[in-house]
Amino acid sequence: MEKHEVVSAVETALTEVLEREVSGLAAGDRLFEDLHLDSTSVLELLMALEDGIGIEIDPETLDMDDFQSVGTLTDYLLARRAEAGDVVGAGER
């Protein structure tokens, strides 16, 4: 999965969670300050991303630094996807 595909999945998940169109995200867009997420919407976002990207997010691997911006969240998701890739993505190749 490419970085732009993950950003697109984040946009789709945010549109669902925030119940408004979210598009054109930049890596520097801050999740809490710019997009106005709160703790409840972050949990909803993570559940939507699990479905959208096809990964399971382990709460033990989460750190608040991963939620600083769209870029940090994308990097976190790509890392989780890479770790799970051999298991989840094996049938996709």
Contacts of 37 (CB under 8 A, 6+ apart): 17, 18, 31, 45, 67
Which pair of tokens denotes residue 55?
A: 């990964």
Query: What are the C-alpha distances in Å from 5 to residues 13, 34, 36, 78?
Result: 12, 21, 23, 10
Per-residue pLDDT tens digits for 19-52: 999 999 999 999 999 999 998 999 999 999 999 9
User: Which of the four pLDDT bands, split at 50, 70 and 90, describes residue 91?
Assistant: very low
φ, ψ for residue 32, nearest 5 deg: -85, -50
Strand, coil or helix: what is 55? coil
pTM: 0.85
- Sequence letter at residue 42: V
Mean pLDDT within 71-75: 96
Helices in 19-56 by DSSP H: which ranges? 39-49
More confident: 52 or 92: 52
